[in-house]
Each structure stands twice: as C-alpha cells, then as structure tokens.
Amino acid sequence: MVVLHLRHQRYITALLSSTTILLLLYFQNSLLVFTYSSHSFISKKVQCDCSICVTDRENSNWFSERYDPNISVLLNSTNSVLHANISRWWMELQSNPGNYTEVVDQLFSLFPDKEHYSDTGPDRCRTCAVVGNSGNLLGSKYGPLIDFHDFVIRMNKGPTEGYEKDVGSKTTHRIVYPESAMDLDNSTHLVLLPIKILDIQWLISAFTTRHITQTYTDVPATINANKDKVMILHPEFIRYVYDNWTRGQGLYPSTGFLTLIFALHICDEVSVFGFGATSDGIWHHYFEETLTSYESGVHAGIFENETIYRLQQENKILMYKGWT
C-alpha cells in the first residue's frame, strides 16, 4: 500500500509538472509583459504577423524610450479635450487662435467620428509605403514596389501622374495642411495636419461655405475629396512627436517627419521612399527643380534626418534611396 501511495504521488507530481509546462508553452506567445513608463503600463507583446513588427518594443531600447503606443494619433470627439500643456504649446504656434471647442463641435458633425486602425493583432501584417518628395525618386523605378504596399501615404502636393514608374500611382492617405492641399480621388484619405485652429476651420469651410480663401497665403476655397475619409492628426500627437522624437528641437516637426511617425503608429511594417538628397547631394522635389533645404526654417531638419537614419539602424523602417 505504501508503494502504491508513493507511485500515486509521483504520478500526480509528474502530471502537474507536465500540465504546468504545457500551460507555459501555450501562453508564451500571448503572455503580456508590462513595463512602467511615464504614461502608463504598456504591453511589449509583438502585435502583428510580419517578420519584424514596428510595435515590437523589446528589440530596441532606443525605440522603446520614444514610442508611445497609447498616444492619441487622430482626433475624434471622445479625445478632443486637450490637456492644458498640449493646448498651451499648440496655441503658441498660432498668431490668431480661435475658439477650439466651437470648431471641434462643428468638425464632427461633418466628418467621421470613430476610432481608426484599432484592429491590430497577431494575424495582421499591414505594410505601408511612406512616399516623400525627394528628387532621388527620379529614375528609381520604385512605382510597382510602392503600389504593392497595403497603404501608400503621400504628403503635400507630390504628384503621381506622369511619374508612375518611379513613384507609383496608388495613394491611400495624403497628409496635407491648407497651404499644400490638392484634389484627391474618392478612395484617398485626406489627413489634415493642423498647425493652427484656422487649418481646421479651413477644412470645415472647404466642405461647406467655402469662405476661407487665405491663411498666411492664398489657399483653395474647396477641394475634391471624400469627406467620409477625412482624418485629423491630433494636436497631442504633434506635441508627442515634438517631445519624444525631435526632442524639442525646432518650432514643430516637419510634415515628412510627422508622416513617418504617423506610419509607425498605424502600420506593422514601414518602407520609406523619397527622403533625403539625390546621389550628388542635391535637395529638390522630384516634380520641380527648385532647390530645397532641410537645414533652415522652423524644423529641426538635421536632427530629423539623424533620427530617420537611426530608425533604419534599429530595423524599424526600410529605407529606399533610389540611387543606392
């Protein structure tokens, strides 16, 4: 009887041990590992089905220190109230700030008021191409590769017509402000970059009264765009990019840099085209010969460039320079 009792105990012990090991193996891919940040406890679990996921924060301490998965990327009625420090900083960028609360009340009676891109998960691999306007795209023949991505995010007035072989023809999102706005097809998301309240007022006007025709320069009274696909970058997101990614340098981040960080938050795999100089070190847009400069102006161009290069080193983006 003693022998049987001992055997029974050993059997139970072995069974429990096996069960524990199986449970650990089962949950190893879904166990959430939390670490404390200045904002909250955040998950470090890989969240996508790509070979390398942007949101994998465990493989880069440098990235983990900067990337906040809980930031409000797009504005909607449930997150539209601005924290005092965000509101104060954003208002300081503006010469004649209007009544933000009144403007927001109008905004979401016209445009979609919902959460976007909350479908992240282990079965999703959303590939995104961020297409800048650098002259290094000319002759690159990147068009088919760019169009192969799930999302193709362009900025400002960078055209596709006539440049399809090098820049592609597909556009799912275009980041603009009033002074850089252009007509869009019905399938493209207009993503407004609001540096001032007047930018949001212009957006409302462009789809209704069409009375705003000037900011600090002439702007279109209206544009062709699908109002059901309109999105607005959150002022808190702009401040986050300024604090976390440009480290408070410059007055505010450039459109190209904001677009890239936007992509890091809505995409699982990010490829970057049309950033930087041409092979001979010239900075110009692929659609015009006028020289541009990243070293002057209100943006921290040099620092932004260094940060983009570091993102490539940390395997968070794939950079395509055209001439390499």
276 is in an annotated binding site: yes
Distance between start and end Cα atoms, the chain: 79
- Confidence class of residue 34 from pLDDT cuts 50, 70 and 90? very low
Q: Where are the domains of the chain?
A: 1-31, 36-320
User: Residues 299, 253: contact at Cβ < 8 Å?
Assistant: yes
- Confidence class of residue 172 from pLDDT cuts 50, 70 and 90? very high
Torsion of CA 257, 260, 266, 267, to 10 degrees: -170
Choosing from 252, 286, 294, 320, which is the catalytic residue? Answer: 252
156 is in an annotated binding site: yes
Q: Round the average pLDDT of the chain to a whole number and report it.
A: 84
> What are all long-range contacts of 198-207, with beta carbons under 8 Å and residues at least 24 apart?
198/94, 198/96, 198/98, 200/103, 200/104, 200/107, 200/232, 201/98, 201/103, 202/178, 203/107, 203/111, 203/178, 203/230, 203/232, 204/103, 204/106, 204/107, 204/110, 206/181, 207/110
Flag whether pLDDT at 136 surpasses 70.
yes
211 is in an annotated binding site: no
What pLDDT is attached to residue 298?
Answer: 75
What pLDDT is attached to residue 322?
Answer: 83
Name the token pair of 86: 């965000």
Task: Kindly state which CATH superfamily the domain 36-320 is placed in.
Answer: Glycosyl transferase family 29 (3.90.1480.20)
Distance CA 311, CA 284 (A): 23
Higher pLDDT among residues 209 and 9, named by residue = 209
252 is in an annotated binding site: yes
Distance CA 197, CA 227 (A): 19
Flag whether pLDDT at 18 surpasses 50.
no
What pLDDT is attached to residue 25?
Answer: 36
Count of alpha carbons within 13 Å of 157, Cβ hemisphere only? 11
Percent of the chain at pLDDT exceeding 70: 83
pLDDT tens per residue, range 214-256: 999 999 999 999 999 999 999 999 999 999 999 989 889 999 9
* 18: enclosing H helix or E strand: helix 2-27
pLDDT tens per residue, range 63-106: 999 999 999 999 999 999 999 999 999 999 988 777 899 999 99
For the ranges 49-53, 136-140, 284-288, the one whose mean pLDDT is highest: 136-140
135 is in an annotated binding site: no
Mean pLDDT of 169-191: 97
Name the nearest CA neighbour of 168 among 131, 205, 197.
131
Please confirm, yes or no, whether 299 is among the known catalytic residues: yes
Flag whether pLDDT at 4 surpasses 60.
no
What pLDDT is attached to residue 115?
Answer: 81
Name the nearest CA neighbour of 226 among 241, 255, 206.
206
Flag whether pLDDT at 59 surpasses 90.
no
Flag whether pLDDT at 27 surpasses 50.
no
Rg (CA), the chain: 24
Flag whether pLDDT at 109 surpasses 80.
yes
User: Residues 141, 165: contact at Cβ < 8 Å?
Assistant: yes
Q: In Å, how far are 57, 96, 160, 239, 252 from 299, measured between CA atoms? A: 27, 21, 26, 13, 6
What pLDDT is attached to residue 22?
Answer: 37
Q: Is 71 exposed, middle or buried (0-12, 13-18, 19+ CB in 10 A)?
A: middle
Choosing from 177, 286, 299, 320, which is the catalytic residue? Answer: 299
- Confidence class of residue 52 from pLDDT cuts 50, 70 and 90? confident
User: Residues 166, 141: contact at Cβ < 8 Å?
Assistant: yes
Higher pLDDT among residues 56 and 33, named by residue = 56
What pLDDT is attached to residue 219?
Answer: 96
98 is in an annotated binding site: no
